[in-house]
Chain A
Amino acid sequence: MTQLSVVFKRELASYFATPLAYVFILIFLVLSGVFTFYLGGFFESGQANLSAFFNFHPWLYLFLVPAIAMRLWAEERKSGTIELLMTLPITRFDAVTGKFLAAWVFAGLALLLTFPMVITVNYLGEPDNGAILTGYIGSWLLAGGYLAIGSCMSALAKNQVIAFILAVSLCFLFIVSGFPMVLDGFSGWAPQWLVDAVASLSFLTRFEAISKGVIDLRDLLYFVTLIAAWLAATAVVIDLKKAD
């Protein structure tokens, strides 16, 4: 566990060693504001909730989260430091999880900085703050899912740009897998259980449920399993590709 926290600390500090972290946070805050107030019609809807804010998160994260994740392993491989990291007495689990958690906490930090939204909506009306809290939890879990996918793609590609594109594509698939356009493609020939399985993989349906204030154990389990599975895949990919 101590090893994990050492890796975590180094990784988190490395985000702030360059202007990257601040630029990222700035872009995230500006875009989430733009989406909420202009595209989401926060004022026009006249409702005291943050659904206009949270509804855009799956799409906002689609591009921003892979940008955080792309450097996780690709940079280690490119600069050769992966050889250093993997020959230090650190388990694969500690290395993969430590790095992931650092990225996740960083994403959480960016998310927390949207607190003026909460203040605004509380000033304007009387929102259900419980629902807002679950919205934040859901949003953070969603970011974790994206990050775990991005971590695996970053381990797969030595080039950060390729890692980014792979992660965006895969995350996109996970978003749209609940959409009729995808399900229609399956429903013609596939058995019902497969259609249901594909539909249940979607980020969107899970996220919408949580962000509406309903925390279902199955939805939590979905995100936790998804993250664990992609991190396990990351570890396997690193073992296969680290020397290339």
Chain B
Amino acid sequence: MIEIRNLTKRFAQHTAVDDLSFSVQPGEVLGFLGPNGAGKSTTMKMLTGFLAPTSGSASILGFDIQTDTLKAQQQIGYLPEGAPCYGDMTVRSFLDFIAEVRGYKGAEKRERVARAVAQVELDAVLEQSIETLSKGFKRRVGLAQAILHDPKVLILDEPTDGLDPNQKHQVRKLIQSLAYDKIVIISTHILEEVSAVCTRAVVIAHGKLLADGTPLELESRSRYHQAVTLVADEALDQAALAALPGVAGVEENSLEHSLSVLAKPGQVIFPQVNALIAERGWKVRELNVERGRLDEVFRSLTRGESV
């Protein structure tokens, strides 16, 4: 378990992390969300023992990061932002170095390195020096060093930033395959990632915790939660839709020729809308019930905070 209690980090001019408290249980994949400069990376740097908090504390599986730094760090696999690696080393010698630092020798070292290499598919570039690799491969080298010792806690700072869609998909699959018995914390500002891999999302802005829940719970805060979107060739009677019980309003999207019928909080309006379509005999090409739009929730949460 990771426990963060009243974690605060002040730099000379500003407060990067402001009285942050939450805990993470094994098996959880926590998406750490926030706009740029929200304090995500600073929090992760404090969790991994790189930065000392101004006040408050964090413990990793019971080891306090301030007083039991080395033991806590042994539990963690960490991918820093931008995946820094020693560019002049080859992939193999770099991973060997990490394995040796983690205390592996001889056959076990070779086995660990081989397994990590297989997991992130690095075989093709094993003897190349890291600075000659593409961004995607560099990121994978960073991931390989983080998972090499099969850590109980994985902390990944923007693991898919700057990757192409295929590579993003691959990294997400890897995270999902690793996650079942671990604590995984991923920072990101890509919202699709949260729905794709996270079991829980924490939103912060200006160092403060704004929201904490499953991606579904967050989505349900959206005004589009349970909204019904219709696409039809003919013009639809918007007044009739708006008059249905439980409907909060109707939005017209002229570009897609679609209508979004918004639900009042806690209401399900799909049956009513469907019944109206049948009754009027409208020819509707598409009919979707929305789960909610994370980006909209994210914007309303973080914008309210920043002004």
Contact = CB atoms under 8 A, between A and B. Distances in A.
Interface of A: 2-3, 6-7, 9-10, 13-14, 17-18, 79-81, 83-84, 86-91, 239, 242-243
Main SS class of interface, A: helix
B73 to A, nearest CB: 4
Contacts, number: 67
B84 A87 contact: no
B50 A17 contact: no
A6 B76 CA distance: 19
Find the residue from A17, A18, A91, A242 having the highest chain B CB count within 10 A.
Answer: A17
A156 to B, nearest CB: 17
Interface of B: 45, 48-52, 70-71, 73-74, 76, 78, 80-82, 84-89, 93, 97-98, 100-103, 129, 145
Specify which of A83, A84, A239 lies most central, judged by the most chain B CB atoms within 10 Å of its CB: A84
Contact of B84 (A3, A13, A83): A83
Contact of B101 (A3, A17, A18, A79): A3
Given A2-B103, A13-B93, A14-B88, A87 B50 contact: yes
Contacts of B129: 17
Contact of A81 (B52, B70, B84): B84
Given A2-B103, A3-B101, A87 B49 contact: yes
24 contacts: A2-B100, A2-B103, A3-B101, A6-B100, A7-B101, A10-B86, A10-B89, A14-B89, A18-B88, A80-B82, A81-B86, A83-B50, A83-B84, A84-B80, A84-B84, A84-B85, A86-B49, A87-B49, A87-B80, A88-B73, A89-B73, A89-B101, A90-B70, A242-B50
Contacts of A89: 70-71, 73-74, 101-102
